[in-house]
Amino acid sequence: MVSLTARNLADLPHDLVPSYDRSALRTGIVHFGVGGFHRAHEAMYLDRLMAEGKAMDWAICGVGVMPADARMRDALVAQDGLYTLVVKAPDGTWTPQVIGSIKEYLFAPDDPEAVLEKMASEQVRIVSLTVTEGGYNFNAVTGEFVADNPDVQHDLQPGNAPRTSFGLIVEALARRRARGLPPFTIMSCDNIQGNGHAAQRSFVAFATLRDPELGAWVQQHVAFPNSMVDRITPVTTDEDRAEVAERFGIDDAWPVVCEPFTQWVLEDAFPLGRPPFEDAGVQVVADVEPYELMKLRLLNASHQALCYFAYLAGYRLVHDAAQDPLFATFLLAYMDREATPTLAPVPGIDLGEYQHQLIDRFSNAQVRDTVARLCAESSDRIPKWLLPVIRHNLGTGGDILRSTAVVASWARYAEGTDEHGQPIEVVDRLRDTLVPLARSQREDPLAFVKNRELFGDLADNERFVSTYRSVLASLHSKGARATVEDLAGAS
């Protein structure tokens, strides 16, 4: 067994480890939110380039901000930034690769000044983000920055060490401005429609609250490219760690497992330059929106369409539910009849083929993605991925049956007990608000969707309300599987 460190790379098979000289790497990107997805996606693409002798001055400095990020700090610092990426094919093939593109890792609570000076250095030209949909701190309905967030308020007080990504990044931008350095590009890699625009709104809002003149400078001079990112990357388990050790002889504290499919569509807006991402398979385009709407409303929203019904019906692994013909039929009906009519043509993509490809991806038994992972943080996901489909079809007279049913399935799941009376662990930043609302909906069926912070005025729409009431009543009286049977068979 070989512990994964830079010193021990020579003890591993040469085809598993970086083929390039990591000592020659220079940091050009600071990344906030070094989780499994970042390491299966952006870091992997950079590793591909480095293996070709390219992008050697675009290595990554990872940054953790949240207390939970201390675990990633401990793993990556001990392993010199190295980790094993394992691609799991449906036929059972595991393909490992040790990724070397993360050169260093900083934990902001330990030393915020080190993080600030890293970003303020001329060598850093991109700051990228995978901080989850909720990490941009804007109201799901109004889109406005939530200025009264306690951590935001802390970071706005002069002299306080920043706690948030907003405080850290804006302070670094202020230092660059004061030193006559051009600003870095801020590149969002999160699942938000117009993620670059969303990042711009949030960071400009914070900068303006701090100093209106600084806010105007950020608005005018900082680039925020949009992107669409896609790769199913489940949470790493102890079984994954043990399997990596047994199959490949690597003692890795935090490997990453993922599916074979990967896609990154990126707007070309980088004033200080960028790695040649297109050489690694990234689609660099002028307009990302058709691709991102396709992914958000077909893949991401279909995950939501699957997960609550599946959990209530007894499924715990995504592939088991997706392989059930009933659930596959329901998902395809949602995608074909409700999501796809909201989309413009997507260059180079056959949307019919894409829909069936998604079912195949969800059905990959090797990935072993959990239904519970898809059910988590719904309040950050449903408003951004699914509600736009409902609103579009309400406006055009389109079908809303299945998309509204997804909202009802979330409301039933949020009651916190399954159909056998067993507790459900509802993981959501708004849990303390949502669970009581859900538990009151047998007396008031609209209690959950009357939450205007999440649903806006949908509870005032008669067509939505009648559909929602009907599905929620079915879930309560007939159960999830029978309800899906009715939905799948609906014309």
> Would you list the DSSP string of 391-429?
HHHHHHT---HHHHHHHHHHHHHTTSB-TTS-B-----T
Indicate whether 383 and 247 sit together in one domain: no
Residues contacting residue 69 through CB under 8 Å, at least 6 positions apart: 34, 107
Cα dihedral: 347, 349, 350, 351 (round 10): -100
How many of the other CB atoms lie within 10 Å of CB of 159? Answer: 4
Instruction: Of 7, 11, 491, 487, give the one whose Cα is nearest residue 249.
Output: 11
Q: Is the pLDDT of residue 316 over 90?
A: yes
The per-residue pLDDT for 142 is 84
| pLDDT computed for residue 392 by the predictor | 98
Say whether pLDDT at 345 is over 70: yes
Q: 314's torsion region: left (phi>0), alpha (psi -120 to 50) or beta?
A: left
Residues 264 and 390 placed together within one structural domain of the fold: no
Boundary-marking domain end, from 268, 285, 302: 285
CA dihedral for 118, 120, 123, 124, sign (positive or negative): positive
Token pair recorded at residue 101: 């593109």
DSSP 162: P
Nearest Cα residue to 335 out of 295, 278, 375: 295
CB 194 within 8 A of CB 295: no
CATH number at residue 473: 1.10.1040.10
Residue 16, helix vs strand vs coil: coil
User: Is residue 419 domain-shared with residue 274, that is, in the same domain?
Assistant: no
249 and 297 share a domain?
no
Of 114, 239, 418, 147, which Cα lies nearest the Cα of 426?
A: 418
Give the C-alpha separation, 251 to 256, whole Å: 13
Q: How many CB atoms lie within 10 A of CB 316?
A: 11
Q: Which two tokens stand for residue 441?
A: 């909906």
Question: How far is the CA of 79 from the CAs of 13, 59, 187, 428, in angstroms?
Answer: 17, 16, 26, 32
Mean pLDDT for the stretch of residues 455-462: 97
Domain finish residue from 261, 285, 309: 285
**Against a cut of 0.85, is the pTM above it?**
yes
What mean pLDDT is predicted for residues 184-210?
96
The CA distance from 387 to 102, in Å, is 37
Tokens found for residue 399: 């079908």
User: pLDDT by residue (tens digit) across 48-61?
Assistant: 999 999 999 999 99
One domain, residues 279 and 314: no
Q: What's the domain count of the chain? A: 2
Last residue of a domain, one of 224, 255, 285: 285
Q: Are residues 312 and 257 in the same domain?
A: no
pLDDT tens for each residue of 225-279: 999 999 999 999 999 999 999 999 999 999 999 999 999 999 999 999 999 999 9
Domain range spanning residue 240? 2-285
In which element (H, E) is residue 10 found?
none
Token readout for 95 is 């393909």
Cα–Cα distance measured from residue 132 to residue 124, given in angstroms and rounded to the nearest whole number:
23
The pLDDT value given to residue 220: 98
Contact 199, 136 (CB under 8 A): yes
Confirm if 167 and 155 have CB atoms less than 8 A apart: yes
3-state secondary structure at position 247? helix
Residues 261 and 152 both lie in one domain: yes
What pLDDT, in 10s, does the model give residues 362-399? 999 999 999 999 999 999 999 999 999 999 999 999 99
**Whole-number mean pLDDT of the chain?**
97
The reply to whether 410 and 278 lie within a common domain is no
Distance CA 207, CA 217 (A): 9
Residues 445 and 329 both lie in one domain: yes
For 134-148, what is each residue's pLDDT tens digit?
899 998 788 899 999
Nearest to residue 282, comparing CAs of 298, 261, 265?
Answer: 265
> Same domain for 301 and 279?
no
Task: Categorize the per-residue pLDDT at 133 as very low, low, confident or very high, splitting at 50, 70 and 90.
Answer: confident
19 and 96 part of one domain: yes
Identify the band that residue 491 occupies on the pLDDT scale cut at 50, 70 and 90. Answer: low
pLDDT for res 330: 98
Query: For residues 13 and 96, what is the distance between their CA atoms, to the nearest angstrom?
Result: 11
Say which CATH number the domain at 148 has: 3.40.50.720
What percent of the chain clears pLDDT 90, i.e. is strictly above it? 97
Chain mean position to CA 281: 20
Mean pLDDT of 207-233: 97
323 and 440 in a single domain? The answer is yes
